[in-house]
Each structure stands twice: as structure tokens, then as C-alpha cells.
Structure 1
């Protein structure tokens, strides 16, 4: 299943699974990920479609802001899965990149602009 990340989506959620198969998952982030969105993020990260893929792409090109609690939730998830996950963060703006780096995501993810 392939979804064009440039195409507007009908959801208002700040994060969604755009693609997931046995090897690769793409999560698309938009708007603002802060305290009110933390529960949505944590629930999505527990989604059964994310259990198998060992390669994750986090498309953050439409994300305006992420707070440290959400960044730590991402870090906890990728460091606690049974199988190692290769994570690529794509398109993170400067402020988003800095927050992810402060949380320690740069130790477990590669960043693409």
C-alpha cells in the first residue's frame, strides 16, 4: 500500500500510519505534537501494524512543533521494541530537529532533509 504524502488527508490527527507492511512503516506527522496529542501518539505507536516492520520512516515535513514529551515517547518506542528498528526522520524543520536531538533521537535515528 502506497500513499502520496503530498496529498491532503481527511484526518486531523497529528500523526498517522501512511504505510505499513512486513518490512517498512511510514508515519506522517503534521501540525503540532504537544501535550494534548501525546495520548494519540502513544496509542498509535502501539498499533499492531508497527510490530513487524524493522524500518520506519518518520515524515515530519509537515510538523510545525513537537514537545519533549512526544519526542521522548518516540524514543521510548524505538528503543523498547523486541527487534531493532532502523529509523529515518525525514523533513524535520530546525525546531523539530532540535527537540528530537534534545530527547536523544539522534542516537537511534538518521535524519534526512
Structure 2
């Protein structure tokens, strides 16, 4: 069996499973938020703040954010590896997007948990 060192331990099946799992989590989160809007006759600031102050909503939001970022990272990695041929430019862009996505994750967690 030949190991491809360019994949850094990942395989197409691994990426496929991560993409599908993150999509399922995102779909469940959308249904959760949609359920809130359907069951709440009038959404005010106080009701919205109360909804997002609940532990279940905070955990679901962070999980959805993490899933979105995993989904985005795999997509960016695939596009860059397919279309950006110079290794130095591809490495710089991958580093840039990795830092950007980590910044989004930290900002999202700090926003949701109100730290």
C-alpha cells in the first residue's frame, strides 16, 4: 500500500465523512432555529436573548459554528490544492485561511459564551 504524504494523514473518505457530518449538524441547527421562530409568536430582544442564554442553544451554536468551519476548511483546502499550483502561494493561502477560520472560531465562542 502506498502512503501519500501530501494528505497529512487525511484521506478522501475522511473528508467525505467530515463534510457529510458537518452538513447534518448544520441542517439540524437550522431546524432548531426554525423551530424557535415557528413556536415563538413574537420575537423581541428579551425573548431572543433568553433563547440564546440557554445552555442547549449555546452548545448547539458552538457546535454549528465548528461544523461550519470544518466544512469551510475542507472546501478551501480542496479548492487550493486543485487550482493553486505554486506550492509557496498555496501554503501561504492555506495558512491565511487557517488563521482566519481559527479567528472566527474564537470570536464566535467568545460571542456565544459572553466572555
Normalised by the length of structure 2, the TM-score is 0.24
Q: Which has the higher strand share?
A: 1
Normalised by the length of structure 1, the TM-score is 0.24
Q: Which has the higher helix share?
A: 2
Higher relative contact order (CA 8 A, sep 6+): 2
Say which one has the larger Rg.
2
